[in-house]
């Protein structure tokens, strides 16, 4: 698809053409998912984030002045929403079921879905190797989406302790994944990073 064709689709989508927007989703879904995954480091979280990005972009599309800037604009939305999700400063937004139709109608290829499914299974293997406290800490933050403050209340410890536990649990998960398969640790390397983005 040429940039001229993309510009035409953006113009149509700005007027409410859901089919045109659906084509934009198909064109950009892999790049948005890849960027989301690079930020949140969790395949399921990235999948949800990518869907949220497209719903949000659909709502905000009339505000885009220059249709030629669509790709960069979409990248900025993805980056901002990833930061919001990681820092848990507030809820992203409730998805309007009508607006989800254009997004949900265009899913990734079966190969992509299989890759995500395999990644999730591998991650579960690593989590199963952890001590209960490490597993509960990672699940609370990454799967249940708890903020540091919520976790501090839930675990009845200071926020600083939660940060330390997350850092230690990430490192232990990395070690567990390396023990299963050295390539897995590389794939999930972001989980063992410092809490600089939290």
Q: Residue 21's pLDDT band (boundaries 50, 70, 90)?
A: very high
Ranking 13-22, 71-80, 189-198 by mean pLDDT, the lowest is 189-198
**pTM, entire model:** 0.46
> Which CATH code for domain 3-104?
1.10.1740.10
In the chain, ranges of CATH 1.10.1740.10 domains: 3-104
Q: Which CATH class is domain 110-197?
A: mainly alpha
Q: What is the mean pLDDT of residues 95-118?
A: 49
Q: What is the mean pLDDT of residues 17-42?
A: 89
pLDDT for residue 89 is more than 50: no
Q: Which residue has the higher pLDDT, 94 or 183?
A: 183
pLDDT for residue 189 is more than 80: no
pLDDT for residue 96 is more than 70: no
Q: What is the mean pLDDT of residues 58-62?
A: 92
Q: Which residue has the higher pLDDT, 143 or 188?
A: 143
Which tens digits make up the pLDDT trace of 132-181? 999 888 888 776 777 888 889 999 999 999 999 988 988 888 888 777 76
Helical axes 43-60 vs 18-40, angle rounded to 10°: 140
Ranking 12-26, 28-42, 63-77, 96-110 by mean pLDDT, the lowest is 96-110
Q: What is the mean pLDDT of residues 101-107?
A: 45
Q: What is the mean pLDDT of residues 59-65?
A: 91
In the chain, ranges of CATH 1.10.10.10 domains: 110-197
Q: Residue 83's pLDDT band (boundaries 50, 70, 90)?
A: confident
């Amino acid at each position: 698809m040429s940039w001229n064709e993309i510009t035409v689709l953006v113009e149509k989508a700005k007027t409410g053409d859901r089919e045109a927007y659906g084509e934009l989703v198909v064109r950009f879904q892999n790049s948005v998912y890849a960027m989301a995954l690079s930020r949140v480091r969790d395949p399921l979280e990235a999948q949800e984030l990518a869907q949220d990005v497209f719903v949000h972009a659909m709502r905000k599309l009339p505000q885009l002045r220059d249709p030629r800037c669509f790709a960069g604009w979409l990248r900025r939305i993805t980056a901002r929403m990833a930061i919001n999700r990681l820092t848990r400063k507030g809820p992203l937004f409730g998805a309007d079921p009508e607006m989800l139709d254009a997004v949900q109608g265009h899913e990734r290829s079966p190969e992509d879905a299989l890759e995500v499914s395999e990644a999730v299974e591998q991650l579960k293997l690593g989590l199963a190797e952890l001590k209960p406290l490490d597993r509960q800490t990672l699940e609370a933050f990454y799967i249940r989406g708890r903020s540091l403050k919520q976790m501090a209340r839930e675990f009845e410890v200071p926020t600083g302790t939660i940060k330390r536990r997350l850092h230690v649990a990430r490192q232990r998960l990395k070690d567990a994944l390396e023990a299963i398969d050295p390539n897995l640790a590389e794939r999930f390397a972001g989980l063992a990073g410092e809490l600089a983005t939290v």
